[in-house]
Structure 1
Amino acid sequence: MVRRSDALATESVTCLNAALAHLRNIWEEIGIPEDQRLQRTEVVKKHIKGLLDMMIAEEENLRQRLKKSIAVCQKELHAVCQELSLAVCLPEEDCTMLQLEKDLRTRLEVLLKEKKERMAKLKSLKEQDEELCDILCTTSYSIDVDAVPSIEQLDAFCAHIASLNEEKERRRAEFVATKKKIILCMDELDQLPDTSFERDIVCEDEDAFCLSNENIIGLKTLLQQLEMKRTQNEAKCSELRSQIINLWDWLKISDEERNAFAVNMVGSRAKTMQTLQTELERLEVLKLQNMKNVIEAVRQELVSYWDKCFFSSEQRQAFAPYYEENYTEDLLQLHNLELNRLKQYYQTHQQLFEGVWKWEENWQLYLGFEKKASDPNRFTNRGGNLLKEEKQRTKLYKMLPKLEEELKVQIEAWEQEHCSQFLVNGQNFMGYVSEQWERHKLEKEREKQERQLKKNRLIEEEMLYGSAPKTPSKRKVNPANTPGKLRKPGQSTCTPGYSAKKLPRYGFNERNKENISHLSATAVSGASIGFSTQRNNLSVNSVATTYSEFARELSKVSKSNCQSQVLNSTTTNIHT
């Protein structure tokens, strides 16, 4: 394929030849001699050659400039690539000089721009680093500011600056929070900043404070000292208040005096502490003047803690000063030591004691329901209270064993931890519980026996006198006053009270007859030896057995023959 430039060059040669030929024709027509034609042709040659030489020189110059530019760009590009830690880009083999020069120059401009940006970023990071190092009092970041940093170096430097900023903010927040606490503590302690460091903290601007590690540590140390001093003051004030309250209670100080002093019962300032100390000294003087009353008051408090801790009588008697009557300061001191020991003992085992108290309260409540359940007058209640009490009694009966089991587990764990025995009223808790249940069981047996003896006495009197004693707990019904329950015409009326002669009407068996005959004979013979003596010699078991059979037969007959109020009452008492 022929280039257009080559065709144009051929065309230029053709034009030149045509021009020369045209010139020769002109010269020929004019008649210019040969020597002049020669001269004129020489002029044309020189002119054309000069013009071409000038053009060639210019193009040669351009070629040289291109070569020089390529060499310079390649050298600078190589240097910049080394500074930027980049690989040198090699030109393409078939690339022309113009394209090569252009590519190298463009690449160089890009790399120089990147170099400038990196240096500018390095300078900015270095300035930030110096500022942060000045605030945090740390050494600056180690990096060569004259060399072009790599991307990795700049990223690491940025990360370092970010960490310094985070540390700055953390220390700033810690400084502000600690400063507030220090100011609060100083205010509560009525203390002014004494040292230059304290004045820098409290009085100077927050931005002017150096956030060095040493200063932060100094801040924390100062705060700890102030908090320790405040804690000591609080403990001292608390102790003074506790002593004052105890003395108030022991000396029976009126509520008016206490309320007037109430403003000083909070806080731990130096002024408050001084006021508390003054009040304590005043009460100490009163205590010396009323030593007996004070010791008696302490003894009452001792008794309350003995009760809370379930101390047995032996444990209480072990504290001999409680029974002394020589009211001295030493005796009061002994009581105070014992009271403090008991308070600490109760606080240490408060959870267990509260559990035992809970069981004790539920146990007493259960005993109360049990007592009500055995009371015959409980059937006179109205409004469903009887059902409620029965439900509560059943609930307590089920809850008490569960509570006992929980306390047993807790106490066993406590005993293993402390390697000692947990006592309630001088004995093991489960032993104490078992003893309470056993006492309750024996009490119920005793009450049952008393009721049985009472029934037996009623039977004896009934058999001996021929009539049942009136029961005060049952109200006698008067048919004449109850129109809703009038006796029908022809209906038989059973009279209150009955004699032994009428008993066979109600279907007594032969065994009953024999027992009644035996009782009658015994009653007759008793007239000769004394009524009281014979009555004590009756066989209770025989009468009780006979009477139970009699009650069953009597209940059967009474349903069909008679609705006597006295007989129904007697039957009810039997089953009760």
Structure 2
Amino acid sequence: MPRKSEIIQMDIQREFCATMQELREIWDEIGIPDEQIETRGKTVMLHIRNLFQEMVSEEHNLKTNMLEKIERFQAEVEELTEKMHLPAYEMPECLNIMQREKEIRTQANRLNKLKRERMCTLASLQSVEQELCDQLCATPCYIPSGSIPSEEQLEQLVEHIETLKTEKSRRKEVFKNKKSEIVCLYDELELKPETSFAQDLVMEELDSFCLSTGKMDELEDLRRELALRKSQAQLAVETLWAKISALWERLETPAHECEEARSRCVGIKPVVLAQLQKIHKKLEAEKLVQLKHLTEKSRSEIAVLWDKCFYSAEQRQRFTQAADENYTVELLDQHEEELVKMHAYYEEHQDLFTNVNKWQQLFRRMLELEARAHDVNRFSNRGGNLLQEERERKRIHKQLPKIEEELFNAIDEWEAKRGSPFLVEGIRFSDYVHSQWEACERRKENEKMLRQEKKQQELQSEMTYGSTPKTPTKRRFIGTTTLLKT
């Protein structure tokens, strides 16, 4: 099958032959001589040659233009591919010039479209990023100016924006909470913002406030400062209340006056602090008037705590102020300090003291029951007390060793932890217990010796004077026939 160009060539030849035939016929009819026909034929040939040359020239130009376009598009594609970090483009083989031009042009158009899309996306993302960075005083994600971003760079930018949004949300929440806390602290402390930052913080809305790291640090510093001032105010108020309560107790202030002051002085505001200072000053003045009474009252309370803590006489004598009769403010302060110290000591070891006291009570009860058991008059009891006392004595004999062991273990642990002995009546508890048992044994030995001496004396008396009846003679009451039991 002939090619299109061959068919066109045949058509041109046929058209040329037909045209020349028609010209010849016209020339013959006209009678144009051969010389003119030759001239006219050369003219026709010249026109045809010029036309063909012009057409060939145009096609050459077309080819040249297409090759130039291919070269230009190829350079553009390579540049865009490199700038957008895309794989190198490879044109399919076996393509003619027109196909190559179309292929490379299409590729260039596609890359230019992708470039525009990326640049548009970049501009949009950078606008959002810049706004967030301005609000947070953060550094934008670096992308060289004028460059075409890669997909990875756009993804990094999106991730950076999400990170900024998350951080903004977090800071907004922190800001909201801390601002609320700061406003409450200003109200609690009855203070007004002093710095320009604090004033802006209280007055400005959240959306207009800069959430930079520096501002957030200032926010936290302000919160800490106010929280510290609140703590100091609370401590001052609590200290005053403690002093006032102690003075109320010392001065035996009526309960209704105390309740009235408590209901009136609520909070930590400066006005409350001033009221408490006024109350404390008044009570201190009253205390000066009652120095002797308050000092002696403190002495009584100290003595009670000494007893509860099993202080020995030597330990009590160390507080020499207890015997001072020169009643002064300094002496009262010393007594109150000793009272606070003894209260703290007792509260810290209350469980041990309670158990020691329990041991003492049981030990004394045991001694009492044993003394009754050796009483010669115990059989005059006609009730069931003897049996009850015997049961109680046996129960105590079982309980005492258990309580002693528990106390020894607890006190050993206490001493190991503190590196100092636990004293009862001025000596270690173990020594105290041993001394009590030894004293008990000595009493028993003494009582035994006394009974033996008494018995010896009675035997000596009987040998000297004769035996005497030990049971009194029974008598009858007048008017009754019943004997009374003895």
Fold agreement, TM-score > 0.5: yes
Equivalent residue for 2:170?
170
CA contact (8 A) 1:241 1:276 kept: yes
Q: Deviations over 1:435-481 (max 9, x none)?
A: 22441464267459758977998x999xx9xxxxxxxxxxxxxxxxx
Equivalent residue for 2:436?
439
CA contact (8 A) 2:122 2:149 kept: yes
Q: Deviations over 1:149-206 (max 9, x none)?
A: 2334334444443443344333333322222222122111111223332221122212
CA contact (8 A) 1:70 1:100 kept: yes
Equivalent residue for 2:120?
120
| 1:424 partnered with 2:428 | no
CA contact (8 A) 2:310 2:424 kept: yes
1:241-280, aligned counterparts within 5 Å? Answer: 241-264=241-264, 266-280=266-280
CA contact (8 A) 2:311 2:424 kept: yes
1:171-570, aligned counterparts within 5 Å? Answer: 171-264=171-264, 266-307=266-307, 309-342=309-342, 346=345, 351=348, 353-364=349-360, 366-367=362-363, 370=366, 390=395, 394=398, 397-398=401-402, 400-415=404-419, 421-425=420-424, 427=426, 431-440=428-437, 442-443=439-440, 446=443, 450=447, 525-527=463-465
* CA distance in 2: counterparts of 1:150 and 1:195, whole angstroms: 48
Q: CA deviation at 1:13?
A: 9.1
Instruction: For 1:240, give the aligned amino acid.
Output: L
SS at match of 2:216: helix
CA contact (8 A) 1:85 1:150 kept: yes
Q: CA deviation at 1:82?
A: 2.8
SS at match of 1:193: coil
* CA distance in 1: counterparts of 2:167 and 2:352, whole angstroms: 56
Q: CA deviation at 1:339?
A: 3.4
Q: Deviations over 1:91-124 (max 9, x none)?
A: 2333333443343233323322332232123212
Cα distance change on mapping 1:365 and 1:14 into 2, 3 Å: farther
Cα distance change on mapping 1:14 and 1:308 into 2, 3 Å: same
Cα distance change on mapping 1:251 and 1:9 into 2, 3 Å: closer
Mean Cα deviation higher: 60-69 or 93-102: 60-69
CA contact (8 A) 1:366 1:397 kept: no
SS at match of 1:168: helix
Q: Deviations over 1:32-51 (max 9, x none)?
A: 99x89xx9xx9xx99xx99x
* CA distance in 2: counterparts of 1:237 and 1:190, whole angstroms: 15
* CA distance in 2: counterparts of 1:289 and 1:106, whole angstroms: 108
Cα distance change on mapping 1:331 and 1:16 into 2, 3 Å: closer
* CA distance in 2: counterparts of 1:181 and 1:441, whole angstroms: 68
SS at match of 2:181: helix
* CA distance in 1: counterparts of 2:333 and 2:236, whole angstroms: 19
* CA distance in 2: counterparts of 1:20 and 1:280, whole angstroms: 134
Cα distance change on mapping 1:224 and 1:371 into 2, 3 Å: same
Q: CA deviation at 1:258?
A: 2.0
* CA distance in 1: counterparts of 2:15 and 2:193, whole angstroms: 111
* CA distance in 2: counterparts of 1:192 and 1:318, whole angstroms: 53
Instruction: For 2:243, give the aligned amino acid.
Output: Q
* CA distance in 1: counterparts of 2:362 and 2:446, whole angstroms: 22
SS at match of 1:86: coil
CA contact (8 A) 2:291 2:329 kept: yes
Q: Deviations over 1:269-324 (max 9, x none)?
A: 22221221222222223222222211122223333443455432212212222112
For normalisation by structure 2, the TM-score amounts to 0.72
CA contact (8 A) 2:311 2:426 kept: no
For normalisation by structure 1, the TM-score amounts to 0.62
Mean Cα deviation higher: 99-108 or 291-300: 99-108
CA contact (8 A) 1:189 1:269 kept: yes
Equivalent residue for 1:512?
none
Identity %: 27
Q: Deviations over 1:22-79 (max 9, x none)?
A: x9xxx9xxxx99x89xx9xx9xx99xx99x9799899777755643442332122122
Equivalent residue for 2:377?
none
CA contact (8 A) 2:425 2:432 kept: no
Instruction: For 1:294, give the aligned amino acid.
Output: L
Equivalent pairs, count: 437
